[in-house]
Structure 1
Amino acid sequence: MSETDLEMELKAWRLLLEDDVYRLDFPQDYHDTLIKRADDLVLGELITLQDWQLLKDAADQAYELTLEMLARNQRDCLNAAALRLPGVGRTAGD
């Protein structure tokens, strides 16, 4: 069974979200890349604006948490499971 383009794109986005080394070493670039990829998904009509907002909110939350951690000299893993992300099975036309 092959994955759909949407499933693969959301999996790639989530893997980027969970990349703690990138997040902690380059927080601004990490955030910018997450936002750009979310923008690409909505512009490519793979996700809805509501799903784009979920991705943007998750990226913003991850960035804010990262800055707070780094300010306290902590390098903890991101709890991505606590962030609300879009589910697979919906497309921009739904």
Structure 2
Amino acid sequence: GAISIADMELGAFDIILAMEQKHVDAIRRMRGDIQGGVGLLLADAYRRGLVDSEAVADPWHTGDYETAYALIQLGCEAFLENLKNRP
């Protein structure tokens, strides 16, 4: 089943990637002392001009699971590419 982010030990993660800015804001409100980064999954793809928005629309509300999946995959690929290219 699903795990509430409030139940997780957020300090155990180096990087936390969220789908929407409201999730980033909520994580920062819950744990302002997080040592690792908190950001948006699509941030790297957005900076590279691969997507028009940094947010992944919640498919529960839109019903568009295929688009959400494609954006998540693209976001993961761009994020990993960025990690590989870091000095």
More strand by share: 2
Please, what TM-score do these two structures have when normalized by structure 2?
A: 0.30
Please, what TM-score do these two structures have when normalized by structure 1?
A: 0.29
Considering Cα pairs closer than 8 Å and 6+ residues apart, tell me whether 1 or 2 has the greater RCO: 1
